[in-house]
Amino acid sequence: MNKHQQRHGLSMLEIVFSIGILALIMLPVFMTFSTGNRNIQLTDAEFRAHTAAIELMEQIVSLPFGKITSGEYDSNAIVDGGQFANGPVLYKITTADDLWRTMKIEDIKRDGRVLFKKITVTIKFAAAPGSDRIREFFMKTLVANETL
């Protein structure tokens, strides 16, 4: 080539080098999309677990203090239409095969009198659809004895 001839186009080395740089730039973008999709699935599962915990908690908290029976209740006892503590109160629970509910009710006493009931609702759920990893969501509250 002499000084007066101009080169038009790109060499193969320049093209390969450019594609490599583009791939390095795009890799974090694709990873962000992948992570975002996984987080959306997790958020959906957490939202459903949170809603299930609120649903169960509201039913127990709405009972008169004397009807809230202390004890531990597992998923087999907490079913739609099932009795709470073998009493007259029936659960109204949204069925979900991928959520496992447990509840623990404890007495908090002072001077031999029950002042509060501590209610802990635990919801277990799969971290993602088809995943074997189980996560837990807890919700706790106190119910005061209104008869004191």
Q: Which two tokens stand for residue 75?
A: 């998923």
Residues in Cβ contact with 87 at an 8 Å cutoff, skipping those fewer than 6 apart: 67, 69
pLDDT computed for residue 131 by the predictor: 82
Are the beta carbons of 100 and 85 closer than 8 angstroms?
no
Q: What is the pLDDT along the chain (148 residues), one digit of tens a residue?
A: 556 667 677 788 889 999 999 999 988 887 777 766 666 666 788 899 999 999 999 999 999 999 999 999 999 999 999 999 888 889 999 999 889 999 999 999 999 999 999 999 999 999 877 888 999 999 999 999 998 7
